[in-house]
Amino acid sequence: MMIVIPDVLTAAEVAAITDRLATADWVDGNVTSGTQSALAKRNRQLPEDAPVAMELGTRILDALGRAPRFVAAALPLKVYPPLFNAYAGGEAFGTHVDSAIRIRRGTDFRIRSDLSATLFLADPDSYDGGELVVDQGLTDHRIKLPAGHMLLYPASTLHRVEPVTRGTRFAAFFWIQSMVRDPAARQMLFDLDQTIQALGATLGAGDDRVVRLTGLYHNLLRRWADA
């Protein structure tokens, strides 16, 4: 499933982050690439152990904890600390698939990458190109979201970033290991959760039908969750 998570960051939070990124010390984006990705990747990235990257990553993790749609869609068990990249002057990232296991260098932190996330940090009118293109069978989805919005999509999909021909595209990106490994089960739980939320808003959270559906949701989650 591909799900847009709107307003993960406020306009003020985006501005504070991009102010820091504009003066940061960037390195070649291939510092975190696997063999396949290194052949396709032309961008810049903040070193993941850079103090500014760790500080800004913590801000984003805090924001994700306040985003119920993200929690409902991802059912996160582990989240790889956010990384930051920048594209300008024709830089792009050709078609690739994300590594199945992500290991944080110098630590024992590792996750299975069930979901990939791209958090857009630049106003879409401030740069040309830079669409995130996700291949889902016969359809290519071209995504360019407002700053502060995030796309959540299967890490198993082929995807690319189109060349940026004007301006600079800033983004944060990271991976999630879900408590529910099966994508179909995760989709059903998300759909059920959204239905419960809609019915609760109409009928009231204490309505017997809402209570029963909520019980069904938690019993299914109990059956399917790894944690």
Per-residue three-class SS string for the chain = CCEEECCCCCHHHHHHHHHHHHCCCCEEHHHHCCHHHHHHEECEECCCCCHHHHHHHHHHHHHHHCCHHHHHHHCEEEECCCEEEEECCCCEEEEECCCCEEECCCCCCEEECCEEEEEECCCHHHCEECCEEEEECCEEEEECCCCCCEEEEECCCCEEECCEEECCEEEEEEEEEECCCCHHHHHHHHHHHHHHHHHHHHHCCCCHHHHHHHHHHHHHHHHHCCC
Whether residue 122 is found in the same domain as residue 55: yes
Whether residue 74 is found in the same domain as residue 138: yes
Whether residue 190 is found in the same domain as residue 144: no
CATH of the domain at 219: 4.10.860
Whether residue 138 is found in the same domain as residue 196: no
Whether residue 187 is found in the same domain as residue 86: no
Token pair for 170: 């800033």
Whether residue 31 is found in the same domain as residue 127: yes
Distance of alpha carbon 70 from alpha carbon 61, whole angstroms = 11
Distance of alpha carbon 72 from alpha carbon 192, whole angstroms = 10
Whether residue 61 is found in the same domain as residue 170: yes
Number of domains in the chain: 2
Whether residue 46 is found in the same domain as residue 151: yes
Whether residue 160 is found in the same domain as residue 85: yes
Record the pTM. 0.93
CATH of the domain at 154: 2.60.120.620
Whether residue 83 is found in the same domain as residue 139: yes
* Structural domain span for residue 199: 183-224
Whether residue 24 is found in the same domain as residue 41: yes
Token pair for 175: 């991976």
Token pair for 201: 């808003």
Per-residue pLDDT tens listing for the chain (227 residues): 899 999 999 999 999 999 999 999 999 977 665 555 556 789 999 999 999 999 999 999 999 999 999 999 999 999 999 999 999 999 999 999 999 999 998 899 999 999 999 999 999 999 999 999 999 878 899 999 999 999 999 999 999 999 999 999 999 999 999 999 999 999 999 999 999 999 999 999 999 999 999 999 999 999 999 97
Whether residue 174 is found in the same domain as residue 188: no
